[in-house]
Structure formats: C-alpha cells, structure tokens
Amino acid sequence: MAAFGEESTADEVLAGLDLTGQRVLVTGVSAGLGVETARALVARGADVVGTARDLAKARAASGVIAGPGSFRLEECDLASLASVRACADRLVAEGLGFDAIITNAGVMACPQGTTTDGFETQFGTNHLGHFVLVNRLLPLLRPGARVVSVASGGHRNSDVDLDDPGFERTEYNPFVAYGRSKTANILFAVELDRRLRDKGIRAVALHPGGIRTELMRHLAPETLAAYAAATTKGLAPIRMKNVPQGAATSVWCGFVAPADEIGGKYCEDCAVAAVVEVDPGERKGVRPYAVDPERAKALWALSERMVGEVFGAE
C-alpha cells in the first residue's frame, strides 16, 4: 500500500482505483470537504448520494462534480431529527445498498443555541443528527461497508459531558461545545465498530486537518486570533491544509486503508493516530477519553435516550 501523509490529496489517495459499482453517502455537500470528497469519488466511478440542508446551495456548489460515476442530492437538515428521519426513510424505501457512509457535515464554534429538537446546536447537529441518520441506514450497508466519521483534532478541547450535554448547568463556550461534539463523533465510531465488526462492517473516525472552509463562518478574525493565542502556547503552529488535502484522510479511511487496521480507530494524515495523554508539542494524536470503549457505550445509551430511539441490541 502506498504511503500517504499530511500533504496527500484525495485524488492522489484514490489514484488507480476503480470505484464503479460502489455507492456512497456523503453528508454536507454544499461546500468544502463534502464537495471535494464527492467529486473525487464520482471521478473514479462511484455513485454518490450527497445530503445538504440547503439544496439550492448544494446544487450550485456541486457543479464541479463530474465523471463516470453519478451524483444526486437528498435534503437532510441534521439540526432537525424530523428532516433526518425523512431522509433516511426515503433512502430505506428506495432499498439500494451503500458501501460507505461519510459523515462529513457539521458546524463549528457557533453562538449558543439549540436545534429544532432542543439540543445544544453543535452536539445536536454534529453528533445526534448523524447518530440517527447512520443508525437508520444500517440495513442498507453492504458486507464490507465502512462508516467514516469526520471528527476533528478539536476533540482535544473537551471530553463529552454525559451529565450536562446541553450546557444547562455549565457556562457555554463555543470551542468547548465543538470539542464535545467532535469527541462524540469519535466515540460513536468506537461503539459502532464494536457493534458491527462481526458483520464485516467497520467504523472509523478521523481528523481532516486544519482547513479554512465555511465551517469557520462563525469565527470573526479577532475570535480566531484569540483562539490561536490561547491554544498555541508551547504547541506547534497550526498547519493549514487546502481542501483537496483535507479530503484525503476521509477517502483513505473509506476505500484504501485495511479495514482491520482502522476499525474503531481515529486517523489523521492518512494514518492511524497515536493515543496521546498530554500533547506538549505537536498537535497530533487522539485523547484517551475519545477512544474509551466504556465511555463510548455510555454516550450511545445517552444518545438513544435523547433522541427517543433504541438502535439494535448490545
């Protein structure tokens, strides 16, 4: 297997692959990484179903997607469980299988607010929306399928708070909230992999890298500067990637890396990341709490209670 790293692009990772007949769901295809991920897959023959909250915006952004594969859009607002369930119901009724689901959509460091269902915006959108969508689509996953959860190095900001997920008793901080939601993305992959691996289906989480995309739309320049100043003391500077580089680890996890190597793991720069307790220098690795299997089980149980659905047996 060719070696890839932090500068690899999605096209380089997928070079030489023929994905004809592979069907893939990618969430968040109205901009940035979602569009690039879908473009790279369709260019190699995959049939991609992209989801977006704003279909008009997604149609405009997806004009760059072309190739021997196919691309279509489905409406799905991850901040509304009614929208998520309606999207899943349409796909299940269609009955066509999926070889991969890439949960790419998300929001970052937004002002305090709630989703349609009353969940804290980032936890509700980034984690609970995907939690319901993926679980409802599990009957469509083909043998050997992978669920790829786009998390973030931002998980190092904070662990999940299983006692106060909505900041009802905790002072709201947008970066803490983002960190909680990204830790939740990783823990979801850990538990989902445990539940599905005996069926030949694997789940993995990843950090795409620091990329200036619309994800940062809530961050004013002074906010970015303050955040950088507060988090870079003693750390290496944040190395920014371009969008093609940012999509590389998603497609590497989905179509290139050996399943047994990445199942239940957290990846970055097209490699499995080390578990790092304290990170005094490089901004690398995954915190132990984000890959703790018992914490993953507890988050799963909490998530089921919050959304009012039970998904499968232990």
152 or 228, greater pLDDT:
152
Tell me the per-residue pLDDT of 6-15, one tens digit each, with 9 for 90 and over: 999 999 999 9
Single-letter residue type at 307? V
For the whole model, what pTM was predicted?
0.93
pLDDT at 286 over 90: yes
For 31-46, what is the mean pLDDT?
A: 97
Q: What angle do CA 145, 148, 149 make, to 5 degrees?
A: 150
Residue 277 banded pLDDT, cuts 50, 70, 90: confident
Beta strands in the chain (DSSP E): 23-27, 47-52, 70-75, 98-103, 141-150, 202-207, 210-211, 240-241, 266-268, 271-272
- Which active-site residues does the annotation give? 178
pLDDT for residue 79 = 98
What is the rounded CA–CA span in Å between residue 149 and residue 124? 15
User: H or E element: which one contains 248?
Assistant: helix 248-255
pLDDT at 106 over 80: yes
| Distances 297 to 19, 141, 190, 193, 301 between C-alpha atoms, Å | 34, 22, 9, 11, 6
pLDDT at 237 over 90: no
For 29-40, what is the mean pLDDT?
A: 96
Q: Which of 56-60, 208-212, 272-276, 298-302 has the lowest mean pLDDT?
A: 208-212
Q: Which of 19-28, 45-54, 104-113, 236-245 has the lowest mean pLDDT?
A: 236-245
For 249-274, what is the mean pLDDT?
A: 97
What percent of the chain shows pLDDT beyond 90? 85
Tell me the per-residue pLDDT of 169-200, one tens digit each, with 9 for 90 and over: 999 999 999 999 999 999 999 999 999 999 99
Secondary structure of 106-128 as H, E, C letters: CCCCCCCCECCCCCEHHHHHHHH
pLDDT at 160 over 50: yes
The b/e string for 250-267 (b: 16+ C-beta within 10 A; e otherwise) is bbbbbbbbebeebbbbbb
What is the rounded CA–CA span in Å between residue 286 and residue 170? 24
pLDDT for residue 255 = 98
What percent of the chain shows pLDDT beyond 70? 89
State the chain's mean pLDDT as an integer. 91
Residue 217 banded pLDDT, cuts 50, 70, 90: very low
User: H or E element: which one contains 10?
Assistant: helix 10-14
pLDDT at 150 over 70: yes
For 211-234, what is the mean pLDDT?
A: 52
Instruction: Confirm or reject CATH 3.40.50.620 for domain 10-305, answering yes or no.
Output: no
What is the rounded CA–CA span in Å between residue 57 and residue 28? 11
Q: Which of 188-202, 260-274, 278-292 has the lowest mean pLDDT?
A: 278-292
Q: How many residues are given for the chain?
A: 314
Strand pairing report for 266-268 and 271-272: antiparallel
pLDDT at 232 over 70: no
What is the rounded CA–CA span in Å between residue 77 and residue 129? 8
For residue 100, give the nearest of 245, 202, 13, 228 by alpha carbon: 202
